[in-house]
Amino acid sequence: MTPDATKIAEIRTKGFAIVEQIIPSAEVLILKDLLQACIDEDLEKWRGQPYQDAWMVHNLVVRGMPFAHLMENGVLQAYLSELLGDTCILYAYTSSSMPPKGTNYSRRIHVDCPRIIEGYITNVGVMIILDDFTPHNGASYFLPNSFLRAEPPTDAEFLAAAEQVYPKAGDAVFFNARTWHRGGVNETPMPRHAVTMNVCRSYMRQRFDYPRLVSPEIVAQLGEVGRRFLGFNVRVPTSLEEYYLPEDQRLYQANQG
């Protein structure tokens, strides 16, 4: 699959773009039902305790095979390969849902990457949409052309220039993770669901050690792309014996960017 050059240019210059229908409606429904079950499970687990990440499920790759298989989506990988190279790896994988009649930690104006390197993207965010975004259900805002600024915009500046995006279920929003953005407020009685991946260059560290975190049962059901995306090609040896293994058995594979 070849990415739309116009969308790639938009991500590189404006900081974000909507790519339509990267997953079919049947898959959207499966992912949405599974995500709500995960949210309910986590809310019950943290009931009565302070938890700033309510409605944000971490490490979705371990919460069900539909989330694991989503990492291997051909459109997703094509855009990521164009922006970060075909050895890129998963930094983080979370839900991006808005609770009914509320908001969450994403409401603050923020970026998802601390590094600024002019002309070079280190991290790409991908928000995969499971419910249509509307002006009333917490649709996200992005500040165009803001990925080179170190200091956050004021609330007034952000509100004056930010764009609220309205992707449909099955779409994805790809964005330079340095772009200043924030979630909206869900005014409706229904949750608004999405999932977000933060993807980085292969030489960078992941938020979690996914080759150790993800169970062998899940890994066994992934193909070469899924294993690479989890970081299996860039593991480091833990002994001299592993360091001197034949090339085809080494943990850190050659040509990983």
In this predicted structure, the answer to whether residue 255 has a pLDDT above a threshold of 90 is no
Query: For residues 128 and 138, what is the distance between their CA atoms, to the nearest angstrom?
Result: 15
pLDDT of residue 135: 95
Domain ranges of the chain: 14-249
CATH architecture assigned to 14-249: Sandwich (2.60)
pLDDT of residue 214: 98
Reported pTM? 0.95
Q: Shortest CA distance to 92 belongs to which of 70, 66, 64, 123? A: 123
Task: Answer yes or no: is pLDDT of 52 > 80.
Answer: no
In this prediction, residue 1 carries a pLDDT of 84
Greater confidence, 255 or 22?
22
Instruction: Return the pLDDT at 50.
Output: 79
